[in-house]
Structure 1
Amino acid sequence: MYGNHIATVGELTAALGRYDPATPVRFATQPHYPLEHTLGQVACTPDDATHNGTPPTDPPVVWLAVGEQVGYLPAPAADALGWS
């Protein structure tokens, strides 16, 4: 599973759709030194950005920000991500 990626909001929605909505969500980083974080803000550019009066021309992109570091990624999670 290592190397797969989710490129769109639709793919993210589909990937999360099989889980209970009350399940905690975490962001895993650094495969060789795995850490877990909560998710922070969600924003969309250019919609959520401050504009200077010029109409935006870039296509929209949704951004997921990393929140607080929780700790080291548990071994079962690293295994599930193919990072072991």
Structure 2
Amino acid sequence: MTHEHPQTVGDLIAALSGYDPATLLRIAAQPGYPMEYMLARVVCTPDDAESWGVRPTDPPVVWLGTGEQVGYLPAIVADALGWSA
């Protein structure tokens, strides 16, 4: 199952809904030098940010932060992401 370019939280939920909730979650980065990372945090700005009493007027955005680097991305994952040569 492939879901390309999720733009909203709803898109991401839809993309994940076909998988077992107990499945491990990783982030793949750097197509030229593919690495795998754990997910560190999920935050929403401006809600989760400390803005020193100044309330930003930008619309909310949910951010997925990368965590600890796990290692090199397995070739099968790079292929599934279309990052293989």
TM-score by length of 2: 0.88
Quote the sequence identity (%): 67
The RMSD of aligned alpha carbons is 1.1
**How far apart are the structure 1 equivalents of 2:69 and 2:31?**
15
For residues 1-84 of structure 1, what are the structure 2 equivalents within 5 Å? 4-84=4-84
How far has the Cα of 1:16 moved from its partner?
Answer: 0.5
Shift >6 Å, 4+ stretches: none
Amino acid at match of 1:50: E
Query: Partners in 2 of 1:63 and 1:38 — Cα distance?
Result: 14
**Inter-CA distance 55–30: structure 2 relative to 1 (3 Å threshold):** closer
TM-score (norm: length of structure 1) = 0.89
- Conservation of the 8 A alpha-carbon contact between 2:26 and 2:39: yes
For residues 75 and 38 of structure 2, what CA distance do their matches in structure 1 show?
17
Instruction: For residue 66 of structure 2, give the secondary structure of its aligned residue in structure 1.
Output: strand
| Unaligned runs of at least 5 residues, structure 2 | none
Deviation, structure 1 residue 7 = 1.1
Instruction: Tell me the number of residue pairs that the alignment of Structure 1 and Structure 2 aligns.
Output: 81
Where relative contact order (Cα < 8 A, 6+ residues apart) is larger, the structure is 1
- Extract unaligned runs of 5+ from structure 1: none
